[in-house]
């Protein structure tokens, strides 16, 4: 009774202290709750202005005056579209040359006739959208990822460790990260059970995209005059994650980013998006909006590819912008080395006249540093440059 009244009124010194601590704890919890708040809940709360934590510094803000100017560049000035002819051997030399040019100039390209059934592309977009749109946030939260562990599997809204976040603006994005390969990491019971075919579609998509990634690594190796298996041998067994990102409509797209500027940390990313558009690639000092192509797959070179190729092919810097009218969905499939694998420039690509440009790095160390420091464009890979 005494305790109850003294803490409630804060009359005794012990009570005051308890009251202060309680207040501090409550404030901390409110801050945490805010940080954990899903962007979708904010967006559906019908707010006119985005909370301060989502406002980018002026130099990072996208120059959007209204939503219709999001896709402003012409077809000629967009990532190359390459028909890979089902990876048929008769077309291999031609395809290899086109891929080599796209890797050197863009670090990204679309592929068609990749062998993944278009129905499967539609299905994974469909189950992803259904999870985000039709499942109440409280049900989605049953799959919440561990906010203290980077790249943990599940439903999340932020990428960085809490200690890094204090100085980092939050992204206008919710996502679901799935650990899909190797099979020892795949546990579909941790993925949404709604809609009912969700788990089966993600597993099927994972298997198909692994095959595409393997074939692409072969072509990319050959495009540099390397043995077909060179890059895949350097990477070892694929660690594959699939991230479905959902970017709710944003009341102030000119102040925010769906996903801040970064390059992916692994080897190769295969991305599909819906018809809305918002992915941009930084090329020749400007941001270019990638035209959505519903049946093609966008290939994005990631940082370990830049190291293995000794900078002949550079990882693509990219970001996602938001818009005020339509939510947007993308599915990114990342292919990474195991954390224990050491990555260094392929010896075939180095010589006395062309020495290694990057320090060797254990992939696990690279990942930890990326999550601790935050992406900020390409600063993580640039930190490995020799003599820099
Ligand atoms: O949503 C997008 O288009 C980009 C996603 C992305 O870059 C990522 O998840 O790393
Ligand atoms: Fe990315």
Ligand 1: residues within 6 Å at CB? 243, 245, 259, 264, 271, 273, 279, 318, 320, 330, 332
First to last CA, the chain: 67
pLDDT digits 0-9 by tens, 248-281? 999 999 999 999 999 999 999 999 999 999 999 9
Nearest ligand 1 atom to alpha carbon 332 = 9
What span, in angstroms and rounded, lies between the C-alpha atoms of 146 and 274? 28
Residue nearest to atom 8 of ligand 1 (CA): 332
Output the pLDDT for position 370.
87
**Sign of the torsion angle spanned by Cα atoms 67, 171, 288, 84:** negative
pLDDT digits 0-9 by tens, 130-153? 999 999 888 999 999 887 777 789
Spell out the per-residue pLDDT of the chain, length 388, in tens: 223 322 222 234 444 444 555 455 544 444 444 445 789 988 888 889 999 989 999 999 998 654 444 555 666 689 999 999 999 999 999 999 999 999 999 999 999 999 999 999 999 999 999 999 999 888 999 999 887 777 789 999 875 445 554 467 899 999 999 999 999 999 999 999 999 999 999 999 999 999 999 999 999 999 999 999 999 999 999 999 999 999 999 999 999 999 999 999 999 999 999 999 999 999 999 999 999 999 999 999 999 999 999 999 999 999 999 999 999 999 999 999 999 999 999 999 999 999 999 999 999 999 998 888 887 888 888 889 997 5
**Dihedral class, residue 340 (left if φ above 0, else alpha if ψ from -120 to 50, else beta):** alpha
Nearest ligand 1 atom to alpha carbon 271 = 3
CB 78 within 8 A of CB 286: no
Distance 95 CA to ligand 2 centre (A): 25
pTM score = 0.89
Residue owning tokens 């102030």: 252
CA 138 from chain center: how many Å? 24
What span, in angstroms and rounded, lies between the C-alpha atoms of 151 and 344? 23
Nearest ligand 1 atom to alpha carbon 243 = 9
> Could you tell which of 248, 273, 320, 331 is best to mutate to test the pocket of ligand 1, judged by most ligand atoms within 8 Å of the CB?
320
> Could you tell which of 240, 245, 287, 371 is best to mutate to test the pocket of ligand 1, judged by most ligand atoms within 8 Å of the CB?
245
Query: Going by C-beta distance under 8 Å and a sequence separation of 6 or more, which residues neighbour residue 352?
Result: none
**Sign of the torsion angle spanned by Cα atoms 334, 340, 341, 343:** positive
Assembly ipTM: 0.99
């Amino acid at each position: 009774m005494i305790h109850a009244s003294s803490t409630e009124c804060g009359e005794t010194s012990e009570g005051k202290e308890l009251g202060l601590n309680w207040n501090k704890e409550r404030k901390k919890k409110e801050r945490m709750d805010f940080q954990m708040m899903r962007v979708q809940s904010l967006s559906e709360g019908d707010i006119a202005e985005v909370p301060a934590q989502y406002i980018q510094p002026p130099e990072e803000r996208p120059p959007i005056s209204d939503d219709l100017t999001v896709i402003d560049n012409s077809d000629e000035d967009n990532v190359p579209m390459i028909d890979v002819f089902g990876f048929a051997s008769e077309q291999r030399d031609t395809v290899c040359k086109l891929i080599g040019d796209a890797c050197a100039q863009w670090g990204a390209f679309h592929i068609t006739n990749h062998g993944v059934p278009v129905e499967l592309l539609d299905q994974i977009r469909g189950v992803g959208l259904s999870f985000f749109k039709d499942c109440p946030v409280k049900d989605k939260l049953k799959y919440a990822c561990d906010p203290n562990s980077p790249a943990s599997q599940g439903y999340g809204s932020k990428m960085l460790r809490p200690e890094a976040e204090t100085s980092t603006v939050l992204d206008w994005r919710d996502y679901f990260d799935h650990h899909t390969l190797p099979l020892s990491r795949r546990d579909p019971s941790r993925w949404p059970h709604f809609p009912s075919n969700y788990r089966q579609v993600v597993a099927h998509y994972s298997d198909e995209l692994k095959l595409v990634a393997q074939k692409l690594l072969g072509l990319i190796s050959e495009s540099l005059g390397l043995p077909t298996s060179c890059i895949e041998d350097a990477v070892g067994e694929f660690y594959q994650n699939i991230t479905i990102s959902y970017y709710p409509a944003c009341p102030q797209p000119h102040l925010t980013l769906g996903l801040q500027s970064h390059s992916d940390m692994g080897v190769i990313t295969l991305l599909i998006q819906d018809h809305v558009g918002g992915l941009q690639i930084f090329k020749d000092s400007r941001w270019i909006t990638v035209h959505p192509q519903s049946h093609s797959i966008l290939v994005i070179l990631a940082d370990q590819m830049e190291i293995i190729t000794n900078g002949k092919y550079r990882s693509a810097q990219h970001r996602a912008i938001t818009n005020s009218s339509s939510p947007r969905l993308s599915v990114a499939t990342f292919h990474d080395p195991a954390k224990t694998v050491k990555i260094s420039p392929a010896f075939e690509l180095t010589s006395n006249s062309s020495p290694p440009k990057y320090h060797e790095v254990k992939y696990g160390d690279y990942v930890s540093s990326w999550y601790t420091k935050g992406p900020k464009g390409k600063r993580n890979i640039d930190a490995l440059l020799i003599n820099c």
